[in-house]
Amino acid sequence: MLNEELELMVQPADILHWREDKWGNIDVLVQWEKFLSCKNSWEYAALLLSSFLHFPLKDK
């Protein structure tokens, strides 16, 4: 799961939940492929969408 630069390569498996903060930003709770649920994390939806262009975030 490391690339040639020894960086950890992860992919989102699913979006479990979403929330909106008081400024209108959307956060999503991400389940990561090949990781236990204790590694789920809240991520900015805009950053996730720009980082994983082929992940169907808009359907969530």
State the DSSP code for 58: G
What confidence tens digit (pLDDT) does each residue in 5-52 have? 877 788 999 999 999 999 999 999 999 998 999 999 999 999 998 888
pLDDT band at 60 (very low <50, low <70, confident <90, very high): low
Top-confidence residue, 15 or 3: 15
Strands (E), 1-60: 12-20, 26-32, 41-44
Q: Using pLDDT thresholds of 50, 70 and 90, give the confidence band for residue 55.
A: confident
Give the per-residue pLDDT at 8: 72
What pTM was computed for the model? Answer: 0.79
